[in-house]
Amino acid sequence: MTAVARVLLVVLGTAVPAAAQPARTPLRGAGPAIGGADRAPARAGDRAPGRAIVQERSRLTIEPAGQAITRLSIENPLGDVRVEGYDGTAIQIETHKVAPDEDALDRLHISLIPNPDGTVAIKTTADGGREHQPVARAAVRIDLVIRAPRDARVEALVGSGTLEVANMDAGGDLDTGSGPISVRNVQGEVLTHSVSGLTRLVQVFGSVDAQTLSSDLDLDTIGGDRLIASVHHGRIDGRRVRARDVELTTTDGRIMLEAEAALRGHLVVSSFRGDVDVQLRRHGAVTVRARGTKVDLGTQSRAQSNGWVEAAISAGDRALIETALVELRAMRGNVRFAIIESRP
Amino acid sequence: MTTCETIQPRLTAYLDGDLDDERGSVVRGHLRECAACRQLAREEAALRDGLRVLPPVDPPPSLWAGVAARLAAAEVADARKPRWRRTVARLARWAPWPPTMPQYAAGAVLAAAAVVMLYWRTQRADEQLAAGPAVVVPVKRMPEPPPPRPLPSEAIDPAAVAPAGDDVTADLRAEPARTTASYDQVIEELMKLASEARPAWGDDQKAAFDTKLVALRSGIARAAPGRTQQRAQRALIRYLQNAVVRDDVVLASRGAR
């Protein structure tokens, strides 16, 4: 379907033009072909016994017309979203709708709006109206699995479902309510925000800005110019972090970081009510200043009159301008710092 | 004399073999002479043959779930009706013919006339009793109507059916407000911590904090509800966190967006 060329509003299952209307057939045998939709009662074990549900699966491919697809905007408050980058140019969307009955299933819609500027917007909704029997939100869901060109930027909003982005090269802006966020093997600027969803970033090579209100944040193999992460209630765990500027902050939760200090880099790790534990691999000179209920810098340090404890780890002939600055604070917690590897 | 108009309505019965010999013979005779009716009969026969070779269709299990849910909902609605409406409906079912609106109206007029008559007789009785001893008539309290029957548990998935206010659509509409409220709660918590930290700040820090706070709060107030407003709230949270945790009061939060 050359939807982009026609700037076509497509609503799966409702307003798809006749030529593109996916057939709704009972699920039999092999999976559906691209562009088809299958509707069937759920398999046993999909839900608790005794609860009848129906589900519909469909697939759709959107080919670029003229301009490449450069941005993917997704809003799915009704379920999970998984975006995987691949080497193709089209967007392939697999949808999976689940509802307690046919009427409720018919209320669930997925709209695709391809724009001429290279943006494809995907949005899920549930019809309302008095004529419908009320259905609890927890009883319906729409899950989306999207294969997108690697160089498309992803902007996604999810409610309580899981948001996963993998193998993309243009970063993304990811937002969830209580749903967890998982980012893996992504390049480019990545912004994540979650109210209470566990946020996990693995193999992200680009600037990162992550913020959660009440959930943990897990960082593994982060490389880029800048890493800014803040958590209100929750922990931050970082491993194999290498960014020139690192700022990790929690109000109420410990921070554990294993990082590599870049030359002339800044690393600021602060917690109001939590311990701060930093292990550093260094390439050059490092100056550490720390403040906390109890401070252990693992090397010779001197206490200042203003409450700070400072230590300088030299790197031979390296110029002072290349010194990395490390600032650690635990207002109502302990600070521990250690150099675990030195490469002068 | 047989005409197409009299034969065509009987074609279906003829093809079904439901006509007796005499009538069947009449239809057969007409078909021999009339090409139009012959064609019609041929098409109908072909349609029947086509339908016959179709595989049997089993209704999906969800169909019964839907029917059961509707039945249960109808029972609930019925149970919530006032007693008099249920009684009228029951009487209507016993009637040899379904009452029409004029008959309901006539019934209402008769009932009204009966009430007027009763009132008139009572008034007269009161007048007669006025001179005699007072009679206390015990008032029998009507029993409370029974509560609506609980829904049969097998008919409706309790997790699936929600009160109208908790419907998925209403829930989705309310979500941005819930998220905004979560952010507001965190802002409140951080403001408390900031007020605790404030005495240790210098005058320039206090002034910078107040100025920044006003700017960020007005940004929230100006922002459209939803994601834009939440973005502004996140900026304020970042700033407050940096002020409280890092004493970074003067510098604007670099991470705020």
Question: What are A193-238's pLDDT values in tens digits?
Answer: 999 999 999 999 999 999 999 999 999 999 999 999 999 999 999 9
In this complex, which of A102, A175, A211 lies closest to B62 when CB atoms are compared? A102
Among A120, A149, A178, residue at a domain's last position: A149
Distance CA A204, CA B75 (A): 57
Do A163 and A310 have their domain in common?
yes
Do A174 and A233 have their domain in common?
yes
Residues B213-254 have pLDDT tens digits of 999 999 999 999 988 999 999 999 999 999 999 877 654 434
Among A117, A149, A181, residue at a domain's last position: A149
Which residue type sits at B104?
Y
Could you tell me the residue range of the domain that residue A288 belongs to? Answer: 159-344
Looking at residue B161, the DSSP 8-state letter turns out to be B
pLDDT of residue A230: 97
List of chain B residues with pLDDT < 70: 1, 48-69, 76, 79, 82, 84, 86, 88-104, 107, 117-165, 249-257
A121 touches chain B (CB under 8 A): no
Is the CB of B65 less than 8 angstroms away from the CB of A272? Answer: no
Do A209 and A264 have their domain in common?
yes
Do A215 and A286 have their domain in common?
yes
In this complex, which of A78, A102, A271 lies closest to B245 when CB atoms are compared? A271
Interface contacts (A, B; CB < 8 Å): 140
Residue A29 included in any domain? yes
Closest residue on chain B to A229 (Cα): B255
Is the CB of A136 less than 8 angstroms away from the CB of B166? Answer: yes
Residue A154 included in any domain? no
Residues A1-27 have pLDDT tens digits of 443 333 333 334 333 333 333 433 333
Q: Which helix (H) or strand (E) holds B27?
A: helix B21-33
Distance CA A190, CA B244 (A): 26
Is the CB of B169 less than 8 angstroms away from the CB of A126? Answer: yes
Do A136 and A210 have their domain in common?
no
Is the CB of A102 less than 8 angstroms away from the CB of B179? Answer: no
The number of domains in chain A is 2
Do A25 and A174 have their domain in common?
no
Q: Are A136 and B159 in contact (CB under 8 A)?
A: yes
In this complex, which of B65, B162, B163 lies closest to A52 when CB atoms are compared? B65
A271 touches chain B (CB under 8 A): yes
| Residue whose C-alpha is closest to residue A74's, from A151, A163, A160 | A163
Residue A226 included in any domain? yes
Do A128 and A72 have their domain in common?
yes
Residue A143 included in any domain? yes
Do A74 and A171 have their domain in common?
no
Do A225 and A180 have their domain in common?
yes
Closest residue on chain A to B74 (Cα): A133
B254 touches chain A (CB under 8 A): yes
For A:15-74, CB contacts with B below 8 A are 26, 40-41, 50-54
Angle at A42 between CA A103 and CA A104, to 5 degrees: 15
Could you list the mean pLDDT of each consecutive 10-residue stretch along chain A, which spans 344 residues? 36 34 33 47 48 86 87 96 96 95 91 88 84 85 97 97 98 97 98 97 97 97 95 97 95 96 89 96 89 91 88 70 88 93 70
By the 10 Å C-beta count (0-12 exposed, 13-18 middle, 19+ buried), B62 is classed as: buried
Q: Which residues of B touch A100 (CB under 8 A)?
A: 65, 157, 160-161
Please, which residues have CB within 8 angstroms of residue B125's CB and are 6 or more apart in sequence? none
Among A91, A123, A149, residue at a domain's last position: A149
The ipTM value here is 0.84
Please, which residues have CB within 8 angstroms of residue B160's CB and are 6 or more apart in sequence? A51, A100, A101, A104, A135, A136, A139
Do A227 and A275 have their domain in common?
yes
Distance CA B230, CA B181 (A): 10
Q: Which of A55, A137, A176, A209 to mutate to test the interface with B (most CBs of B within 10 A)?
A: A137
pLDDT of residue A6: 32
In this complex, which of A100, A211, A228 lies closest to B160 when CB atoms are compared? A100
pLDDT of residue A4: 37
Concatenated DSSP letters for A91-116? EEEEEEEEESSHHHHHTEEEEEEE-T
In this complex, which of B238, B245, B257 lies closest to A331 when CB atoms are compared? B245
Residue A39 included in any domain? yes
Please, which residues have CB within 8 angstroms of residue B101's CB and are 6 or more apart in sequence? none
Residue A313 included in any domain? yes
Torsion-angle region of residue A185: left (phi > 0), alpha (psi -120 to 50) or beta?
Answer: left
Do A234 and A344 have their domain in common?
yes
Residues B116-146 have pLDDT tens digits of 766 666 555 444 444 444 333 333 444 444 4
Do A47 and A67 have their domain in common?
yes
